Structure 1
Amino acid sequence: MPSHNDLGEYGLKKLKKKYSNDLLDDLMADLQFLIDSGYYDTLFKVYTDWKEPVSLLSDISNKIAEKSNFLVFAHENLRNIPVKFLSDLIDYDTFYFFFPFLEWVYSMYLERQLEPDDVERLFSSGVGQKIALNLLNFAKFDKTPEVTSEFFQKLQKLKWENRKTKKIYTELDKIISLFLFKDYGINESSFNIRQARVILFLAGCSAVNEGKEKIGESDVFTAYKTLFKIIKTDFSELIDGATSKQKRISHGYFVCENCGDYYKLQSGEKPEDFSDICECGGKLKYMKSLDKSG
Structure 2
Amino acid sequence: MKKVKTWMKISDVLSDFQDKINTSLGRETSSEWNKRVLKEYCVYLRGLSVQGLPEILNEIQDTWNSGLYQDFVWAFGERKMESRPLTFEELAHNKLSTLAATNLPSTGFNTLMSGKTDLNLFRAMGPMIEAIYHLNSGRAFNWEDMLNLAFSDLETRLIFALNRFDEVKEVPEPTAEFFQKLKETSMTSEQTKNLEEKIGLVLIHIEGEIFGMGFENSVEDYWPTMSLFIQFLAACSAVQHNREEIVNEDIIRAYRTFFKLIKTDVTQYKADPELVRDMDEDNPDYEDVIVCKNCGSYYKLEPGESVDDFESCHCGGELKQVHDERT
Tell whether the structures are fold-level matches, with TM greater than 0.5: yes
**Could you tell me how far 1:161 is from its partner in structure 2?**
4.8
- Residues 84-125 of structure 1, C-alpha deviations (whole Å, 9 max, x = no match): 289561111121111111011011111211123212112221
RMSD value over aligned CA atoms? 2.3
Residues 76 and 33 from structure 1, CA distance in 2 versus in 1: closer, same or farther, beyond 3 angstroms? same
Structure 2 residue aligned with 1:8, among 33, 38, 41? 38
CA–CA distance in structure 2, aligned partners of residues 170 and 126 of structure 1: 30
Equivalent residue in structure 2 for 1:191, among 214, 222, 236: 222
> CA separation of 1:61/1:107 partners in 2, compared to 1, >3 Å: closer, same or farther?
farther
Q: Alignment partner for residue 76 of structure 2, among 38, 47, 50?
A: 47
How many Å separate the matches in 2 of 1:64 and 1:198? 24
| Matched residue SS, 1:239 | coil
Q: Is 1:76–2:106 an aligned residue pair?
A: no
Say whether residues 1:171 and 2:198 are aligned partners: yes
Kindly indicate whether residue 153 of structure 2 is the aligned counterpart of residue 126 of structure 1: yes
Contact 1:169 1:220 in 2 (8 A): yes
Offset, 1:23: 2.6
Deviations 1:19-56 (A, max 9, x none): 42x6322111111221222211111121222324566x
Letter in 1 for 2:69: Y
1:67 aligns with 2:89: no
Q: Cα 1:83–1:235, aligned 2, differ >3 Å: closer, same or farther?
A: closer
Structure 1 residue 5: Cα displacement:
3.6
Larger Cα-atom Rg: 2
- Other structure's SS at 1:215 match: coil
> Is this contact kept in 1: 2:83–2:141, CA < 8 A?
no
Higher relative contact order (CA 8 A, sep 6+): 2
Displacement, 1:180? Answer: 3.1
User: Aligned in 2, Cα 1:88/1:34: closer, same or farther, shift over 3 Å?
Assistant: closer
- The question of whether the paired residues in 2 share the 8 Å contact of 1:80 and 1:87 is answered with no
What SS does structure 2 have at the residue aligned with 1:114? coil
> How is 1:1-294 mapped onto 2 (pairs within 5 angstroms)?
1=28, 2-20=32-50, 23-52=52-81, 60-82=86-108, 84=110, 89-182=116-209, 183=212, 184-185=214-215, 186-239=217-270
The percent identity for this pair of structures is 22
Q: Which runs of 4+ in 1 moved over 6 A?
A: none
Alignment gaps of 5+ in structure 2: 1-27, 272-327
Which sits farther off after the overlay, 228-237 or 153-162? 153-162
CA contact (8 A) 1:16 1:24 kept: yes
Q: Which moved more, 1:220-229 or 1:28-37?
A: 28-37
Q: How far 1:141 sits from its partner (Å)?
A: 2.3
CA–CA separation in structure 1 for the residues paired with 2:192 and 2:115: 17
Cα distance between partner residues in 1 of 2:181 and 2:253: 18
Cα gap change, 1:148 to 1:53, in 2 (>3 Å): farther
Q: What letter matches 2:141 in structure 1?
A: L
**2: distance between equivalents of 1:90 and 1:52?**
29
- Work out the CA distance in 2 between the residues paired with 1:30 and 1:63: 40
How has the CA–CA distance of structure 1 residues 29 and 130 changed in structure 2, closer, same or farther, with 3 Å as cutoff?
Answer: same
| Rounded Cα–Cα distance in structure 2 between residues aligned with 1:76 and 1:196 | 23
Equivalent residues of 2:34, 2:208 under 8 A apart: yes
The one-letter code of the counterpart of 2:39 is: E
Deviates more, 1:1-10 or 1:127-136: 1-10
Distance 2:147 2:87 in 1: 9
- Offset at residue 71 of structure 1 (A): 0.2
Which AA in structure 1 matches 2:64? I
Shift of 1:63: 3.6
Q: Does the C-alpha gap of structure 1 residues 143 and 122 become closer, same or farther in structure 2, counting only changes over 3 Å?
A: farther
Give the conservation status (yes or no) of the 8 Å contact 1:97–1:198.
Answer: yes
Q: The residue matched to 2:166 in structure 1 has which SS?
A: helix
Q: Which runs of 5+ in 1 are unaligned?
A: 241-294
CA distance in 1, matches of 2:250, 2:218: 28
Q: Report the TM-score when normalising by structure 1.
A: 0.74
